[in-house]
A = this chain, B = another copy of it.
Amino acid sequence: MTTMRDVAEHAGVSIATVSFVINNTKPVTQATRARIEASMEALGYRPNAVARALASRRTRVLALAYPALDHRLGGSGMEFMIAAARRAGEHGYHLMMWPGTNDGREMTDLLGQRMVDGVILMEVQLDDPRVRPLQASKTPYALIGRTADPSDSLHVDIDFEQTVTDAVRHLYDLGHRRIVLVTGTQVSESYYNYGPYVRTERAFVDVTARLGLEPVIVASGHDAGAGRELAQRLRTEQPDATAVVLLNEFAAIGLLIGLHHQQLRVPDDLSIVSMVTSDEMASLAEPTLTIMRSPGTELGELAVEHLVRQMTTGQRPDPVLLPSILVPGESTSPPPRTPIGRR
Residues of A within 8 A of B (CB): 1, 44-51, 53-54, 59, 61, 64, 68, 73, 78, 81-82, 85-86, 89, 94-99, 108-109, 111-115, 223-225, 250, 253-254, 256-257, 260, 280, 283-286
- Does B94 lie within 8 Å of A96, measured CB to CB? yes
Task: A46 to B115: give the CA distance in the assembly, Å.
Answer: 11
- Does A82 lie within 8 Å of B73, measured CB to CB? yes
| Residue from the list B48, B113, B283 in contact with A254, Cβ < 8 A | B283
- Does B50 lie within 8 Å of A59, measured CB to CB? yes
- Does B115 lie within 8 Å of A94, measured CB to CB? yes
What's the least CB distance linking A137 to chain B, in Å? Answer: 9
Instruction: List, in ascending order, chain B residues with CB within 8 A of A111's CB.
Output: 46
Which chain B residue shows the least CB distance to A257? B286
- Does B254 lie within 8 Å of A112, measured CB to CB? no
Report if A113-B280 is in contact (Cβ < 8 Å); known contacts: A94-B96, A99-B86.
no
This chain: copies in complex: 2
Instruction: List, in ascending order, chain B residues with CB within 8 A of A280's CB.
Output: 223-224, 250
Task: A48 to B50: give the CA distance in the assembly, Å.
Answer: 12
Instruction: List, in ascending order, chain B residues with CB within 8 A of A257's CB.
Output: 286
Instruction: List, in ascending order, chain B residues with CB within 8 A of A85's CB.
Output: 68, 97, 99
Task: A280 to B75: give the CA distance in the assembly, Å.
Answer: 12
What's the least CB distance linking A120 to chain B, in Å? Answer: 12
| Residue from the list B45, B51, B97, B260 in contact with A286, Cβ < 8 A | B260
Task: A112 to B51: give the CA distance in the assembly, Å.
Answer: 12
- Does B99 lie within 8 Å of A96, measured CB to CB? no
- Does B284 lie within 8 Å of A114, measured CB to CB? no
- Does B94 lie within 8 Å of A95, measured CB to CB? no
Instruction: List, in ascending order, chain B residues with CB within 8 A of A1's CB.
Output: 114
- Does B284 lie within 8 Å of A46, measured CB to CB? no
Instruction: List, in ascending order, chain B residues with CB within 8 A of A113's CB.
Output: 46-49
Instruction: List, in ascending order, chain B residues with CB within 8 A of A256's CB.
Output: 286
7 closest A-B pairs by CB: A46-B112, A49-B113, A224-B283, A85-B97, A49-B115, A257-B286, A95-B97
Interface centre among A50, A89, A257 (most CB of B within 10 A): A50
What's the least CB distance linking A106 to chain B, in Å? Answer: 10
- Does B225 lie within 8 Å of A283, measured CB to CB? yes
Task: A98 to B94: give the CA distance in the assembly, Å.
Answer: 8
- Does B54 lie within 8 Å of A50, measured CB to CB? yes
